[in-house]
Amino acid sequence: MAEAEKSRPDGRTLRSANTRRAVAEAYLDLAQEGNLKPTARTVADRAQVSERAVFRHFRDLETLMAEAARLQIDRVGKAVPRPAPLDGPLDVRREAFAERWCELNEKVTPVRRAALLYEPFSEEVARRLGWIRGVRRNEIQRTFAAELASLATEDQREAIAALSATSSWATWNELRTRHNLSKVAARRTVARSLAALLGYMGPA
């Protein structure tokens, strides 16, 4: 019983953790709403804490963005389809892959726009964006392993790059924003582009 009491967080520790999370969630919510560079005052007001509390829990923007990134991964991870199957018919794997990454790209759009503003100056943001790009490449290699195995090494590398670019947020943003496609039409376009690459990518 004594050990259990020791491991249980005290009230002050719990309040501190709750405040820290509230500030990070406020920052994420503001970015989701389109406020790409919220001030500390704005974040504090949304979190319903003092501006001093923001700086007490986060010594700089970098530490706040690191915490927000962890929360964003948790939020999005629960809201997107599972990874595509690793075997079975190509069209089933392709459609599942397209559905997952199109849904993910749609959900992260507002926060991704904010992240891209800071990527050149923030090691944490650059690391997180690099991580998600790596996740996508890894899923491509695993999902389409059978198709990629038939290519020579350099052709395989180029095929992975093309498939990654086609399913990237940059392409999704181009389709949704620049070409004003609906979510359904944009997903269909991505799926068709993946099908074309997987069907015809090979030695020149």
Q: What's the rounded Cα separation, in Å, for the pair 40 and 46?
A: 10
The DSSP output letter for 174 is I
pTM passes above 0.95: no
Q: Are 72 and 28 in contact (CB under 8 A)?
A: yes
Q: What does the angle CA 75 – CA 76 – CA 78 come to, to the nearest 5 degrees?
A: 75
- Please report, rounded to a whole number, the percentage of residues in the chain having pLDDT higher than 70: 93
Q: What is the pLDDT of residue 202?
A: 52
Residue 69 confidence (pLDDT):
85
| Band of pLDDT at residue 174, cut at 50, 70 and 90 | very high
Q: For residue 123, which amino acid is it?
A: E
Between 185 and 203, name the one with better pLDDT.
Answer: 185
CB neighbours (10 Å) of residue 153?
7
CA pair distance 140, 92, nearest whole angstrom: 14
* Percent of the chain whose predicted confidence (pLDDT) is above 90: 64
Q: What mean pLDDT comes out for the span 106-122?
A: 91
Amino acid at 16: S
